[in-house]
């Protein structure tokens, strides 16, 4: 790393510290706030985890609402309600891909997008009686007080090259994990058992947590495309995971960790994966679709992620030429001590810490 890169990293670290110190963390009256985040720029599998915890808290009787920034969505600056839990009010382009995916998968749970998450919370509280908010990607969001910080670490790429942005993928040093209340190592099925054990030992030492939970993003089936994407259709005609065993497939993705997606397909028995990858949150264009269709034959097997289908669906008319086109449906799953995780979360919510994380 040269001197200029070193200086940029130091400036980023300084800016983050100043941001933390200057922000006035606001409490949301008469409500609990649970943050789910990470210390890297992406790839931990946060969106399925938000779905898991939102449904868990809904089952526990809370009136849950989701506060999302709506990254790269047109409504991010002004803020808007994406869903009331029964109806979608924004398009994926307006809301951002991850927020839209959350809304579609969380029936009965309202979702708001916007940078000003206090304003979003006030709106959901007033209009829908929300008393428990999940702050999506909230570990570095210093403007809201929260009761619990859940932090995810990707087992396949926990810290990147060990450097902070812009020289690496770390948003803040790994020592910041000490601010977390619950720590979850994700994608444990995509690395060796010895590597999982090594990371758990390291995370215990760095974070001070005796218990580090393990999770996987478990494939539950393939959804045939093209199709509409909404509350009633996102799991329609779910095909078995064995569908592509022995097949050569194209893997289309615009996610932070496309290698994990490709490895998952190989774990499902796919014989060969030919990737067509774009940067995370890429908004597909007509030109992209033309390039894809120039490479892929109509009878080829083509797989994408649910997050990518959120944006690709607008090109359904052109993509219907693909006869074997699917997205992979995955769900967040805790491997061990799930009851301990649930009881620990409930206890931490009741106790609350009412402080800036």
Please give the pLDDT value at position 357.
39
Per-position DSSP letters for 187-251, written without gaps between them: -GGGS-HHHHHHHHHHHHHHH--S--EEEEEEEEEEEEES---STTTTTTTEEPGGGGTT-EEEE
What are the pLDDT digits (tens) for 140-151?
A: 998 999 999 999
Which has the closest alpha carbon to 268: 192, 330, 353?
330
**pLDDT at 330 > cutoff 60:** yes
Query: Across the chain, what does the average pLDDT equal?
Result: 92
Q: Note whether residue 71 is domain-resident.
A: yes
Hey, how many other C-beta atoms are within 10 angstroms of the C-beta on 211? Answer: 13
Q: Do residue 298 and residue 151 come from a single domain? A: no
Rounded Cα–Cα distance for residues 169 and 309 (Å): 25
Domain, as residue range, for 227: 220-330
Hey, how many other C-beta atoms are within 10 angstroms of the C-beta on 176? Answer: 19
Q: Do residue 180 and residue 48 come from a single domain? A: yes
Please give the pLDDT value at position 8.
65
CA–CA distance from 232 to each of 88, 128, 206, 227, 228 (Å)?
12, 22, 43, 11, 9
What are the pLDDT digits (tens) for 256-300?
A: 899 999 999 999 999 999 999 999 999 999 999 999 999 999 999
- Confidence (pTM): 0.93
Q: Do residue 188 and residue 309 come from a single domain? A: no
Q: Total domain count for the chain?
A: 2
Q: Do residue 305 and residue 326 come from a single domain? A: yes
Q: Do residue 280 and residue 205 come from a single domain? A: no
Judge contact between 33 and 149, C-beta under 8 A: no
Please give the pLDDT value at position 42.
82
**pLDDT at 356 > cutoff 50:** no
Q: Note whether residue 65 is domain-resident.
A: yes
Token reading at 322:
């693909």
Please give the pLDDT value at position 170.
94
**pLDDT at 20 > cutoff 70:** no
């Amino acid at each position: 790393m040269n001197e200029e890169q070193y200086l940029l990293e130091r400036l980023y670290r300084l800016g983050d510290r100043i941001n933390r110190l200057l922000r006035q963390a606001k409490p949301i009256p008469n409500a609990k706030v649970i943050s789910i985040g990470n210390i890297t720029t992406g790839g931990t599998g946060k969106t399925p985890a938000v779905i898991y915890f939102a449904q868990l808290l809904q089952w526990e009787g809370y009136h849950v609402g989701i506060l999302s920034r709506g990254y790269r969505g047109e409504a991010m600056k002004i803020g808007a309600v994406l869903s009331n839990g029964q109806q979608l009010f924004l398009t994926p382009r307006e809301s951002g891909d991850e927020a839209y995916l959350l809304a579609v998968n969380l029936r009965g749970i309202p979702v708001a997008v916007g940078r000003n998450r206090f304003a979003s919370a006030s709106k959901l509280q007033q209009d829908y009686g929300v008393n428990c908010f999940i702050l999506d990607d909230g570990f570095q969001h210093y403007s809201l007080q929260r009761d619990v910080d859940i932090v995810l670490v990707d087992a396949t790429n926990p810290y990147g090259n060990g450097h902070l942005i812009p020289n690496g993928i770390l948003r803040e040093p790994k020592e910041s994990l000490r601010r977390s209340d619950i720590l979850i190592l994700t994608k444990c099925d995509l690395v060796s058992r010895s590597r999982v054990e090594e990371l758990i030992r390291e995370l215990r030492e760095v974070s001070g947590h005796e218990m580090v939970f393990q999770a996987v993003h478990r494939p539950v089936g393939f959804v045939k495309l093209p199709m509409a994407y909404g509350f009633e259709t996102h799991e329609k005609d779910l095909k078995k995971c064995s569908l592509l065993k022995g097949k050569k497939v194209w893997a289309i993705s615009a996610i932070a960790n496309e290698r994990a997606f490709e490895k998952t397909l190989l774990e499902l028995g796919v014989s060969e994966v030919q990737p067509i990858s774009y940067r995370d949150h890429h908004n597909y264009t007509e030109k992209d679709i033309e390039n894809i269709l120039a490479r892929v034959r109509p009878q080829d097997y083509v797989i994408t992620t649910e997050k990518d289908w959120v944006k690709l669906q607008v090109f359904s008319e052109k993509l219907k030429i693909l006869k074997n086109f699917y997205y992979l449906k995955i769900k967040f799953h805790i491997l061990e001590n799930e009851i301990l995780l649930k009881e620990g979360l409930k206890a931490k919510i009741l106790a609350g810490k009412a402080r800036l994380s």
